Structure 1
Amino acid sequence: MDKPTLVIKLGGALIENDEALTALFATLKTFLDEQPRPLVLVHGGGCLVDDLLKGLGLTSSKKNGLRVTPFEQIPYIAGALAGTANKQMMAKAIATGIASVGLCLADGGLCQVTQLDPELGAVGDCQPGNPALLNGILSQGFLPVVSSIGITAGGQLMNVNADQAATAIAEALGADLVMLSDVSGILDGKGKLVPQLDQLTALDLMEKGVIKDGMAVKVQAALHAAQTLGKPVCVASWRYPDQLLALLAGGVVGTLVTATATV
């Protein structure tokens, strides 16, 4: 494989936007047809989880941007993420003519998952594992679609933040990493796009409360990945297929997150 694998993290809100999801997979198909490159999709599905829990009469809360996951709720959350969300992504890939394989973080030992914090319940800390299965799937020309459900060594299902999951997979593969969400990138206190973000600037924006909650989790994961991978991580939007095509081809879109400041 000449070009490095590209891991693309897709924000959960995308799954509920059929038009945007269709446009995204059409863009991926165009790219794969014109200039093939190994791609891995990693997704969450927070909106689906919210809808399911609400329908079941269950409440849900977040702590520091991470969903508190009582152990009695993890079967439902796993069903929403590794089941419904994953298969909806697969369905869209198939309808677009992209050969794909649906996975979770545990398949082939792709990621090593442990409990992150007892106060969060069944929420997992995700570390790179064995990429052999994923590399085998990629070598056969398939698009892996990976949900952010992990399993501990003891067999406990865990809900893993999708940004952190994508980071661990990119580290396992030595891949490039792009995080796509419903915003154009990371924004400053005035709502303007920050074209490049290093650790010092990120910490400053976090201390000021500009970067917080889920975006803080995303930025921390991107900084960690940039440091571990030794290359920038892109945070951009899935809303603009033309920009995505440029990004897939190596262009600069959204915010580039770097481990250290560049002179």
Structure 2
Amino acid sequence: MSEQQPLVVKLGGTLLESDKALEALFSTLKAFVNESNRQLVLVHGGGVLVDNQLKAMGLTSTKKNGLRVTPFEQIPVIAGALAGTANKLLLAQAIAHEIPSVGLCLADGGLCRVSQLDPELGAVGQIEGGDATLVTSLLSGGFLPIVSSIGITFDGKLMNVNADQAATAIAEILDAELVMLSDVSGILDGKGQRIAHLTEADAFELMDKNIIKDGMAVKVKAALKATKTLGRPVAVGSWRYPEQLLSLLAGESEHGTRISH
């Protein structure tokens, strides 16, 4: 990976449930920044926190094609879990590791333009890149932007945006490189084995066979979009092993899956 491009890191999965995992991740991120002098942007969801909060309130949640159906009456709860709790848990770890950071959502500074994706999904946002001025200013000032996947429409409605799609949009407007981190070691084939390199043709074949499906299909489609827009591969891997994460962030291919068109 070149030193010039910022690096957008999407965080997901059960990471936010474990203080130990968060501590290990931020130790690794700090070491990476110190060694590479790269500018980082973190983009996160927090589905596990959303599930827990909804359950605590006696509310249920369903998914359609890998996206969370978000009734408008639930969006205050979901926004609180993502832009509130999840964002500040990550900010707290950054502060504990002496990383100057700012917590944001997709609407801050007009970073991303969001509209309703599908009335059947409720308050779920379709995302496009917007204005990178605020984030580039923060990066230039030495800050780590930590961006939650809550967006706001032009008429002021809160929207829940898929975090993989959000990370892709932010990478596009920054012309950044993109790494997506989740619970799994990468994209897996029908036998549960990690795929080191995945092309668009192979990806759609695995989707047709229902091997890549639901949330992983959303992730792969977002990554494929980014590879076309950015003209460079996107890495998908796990946050679980800090020693592997350094090589993944550095663009080495022995860990995770590198997606290219």
Interval of TM-score (by shorter of Structure 1 and Structure 2):
over 0.9
1:163 partner amino acid: D
Q: Does 1:178 align with 2:188?
A: no
Q: Bigger shift: 35-44 or 9-18? A: 9-18
Task: Find the aligned partners of 2:3 and 2:141 in 1 and give their Cα distance.
Answer: 15
Identity %: 68
* 1:39 alignment partner in structure 2: 40
Task: Find the aligned partners of 1:112 and 1:2 in 2 and give their Cα distance.
Answer: 28
Q: Matched residue pairs, number?
A: 259
2:3–2:37 CA contact under 8 A, matched in 1: no
Task: Find the aligned partners of 1:250 and 1:5 in 2 and give their Cα distance.
Answer: 13
Give the C-alpha shift of residue 33 in structure 1.
2.0
1:190 partner amino acid: K
Task: Find the aligned partners of 2:154 and 2:14 in 1 and give their Cα distance.
Answer: 30
Q: Does 1:123 align with 2:124?
A: yes
What is the SS of the residue equivalent to 1:235? strand
What is the SS of the residue equivalent to 1:7? strand
Task: Find the aligned partners of 2:170 and 2:68 in 1 and give their Cα distance.
Answer: 21
Aligned ranges 1:1-263 → 2 under 5 Å: 2-252=3-253, 253-259=255-261
What is the SS of the residue equivalent to 1:144? strand
Gaps of at least 5 residues in structure 2 are none
2:179–2:249 CA contact under 8 A, matched in 1: no
Give the C-alpha shift of residue 250 in structure 1.
3.0
Task: Find the aligned partners of 1:180 and 1:256 in 2 and give their Cα distance.
Answer: 12
Give the C-alpha shift of residue 7 in structure 1.
0.2
1:61–1:68 CA contact under 8 A, matched in 2: yes
Task: Find the aligned partners of 2:87 and 2:149 in 1 and give their Cα distance.
Answer: 9
Give the C-alpha shift of residue 251 in structure 1.
1.8
Using structure 1 for the length normalisation, give the TM-score: 0.97
Task: Find the aligned partners of 1:242 and 1:62 in 2 and give their Cα distance.
Answer: 34
Task: Find the aligned partners of 1:16 and 1:201 in 2 and give their Cα distance.
Answer: 33
Task: Find the aligned partners of 1:163 and 1:153 in 2 and give their Cα distance.
Answer: 22
Give the C-alpha shift of residue 2 in structure 1.
4.6
Cα-to-partner distance string for 1:122-149 (whole Å, 9 max, x where unaligned): 0000101000000000000010000000
Task: Find the aligned partners of 1:12 and 1:44 in 2 and give their Cα distance.
Answer: 8
1:12–1:46 CA contact under 8 A, matched in 2: yes
2:31 partner amino acid: T
What is the SS of the residue equivalent to 1:52? helix
Instruction: Give the superposed CA RMSD.
Output: 1.0
Q: Bigger shift: 207-216 or 240-249? A: 240-249
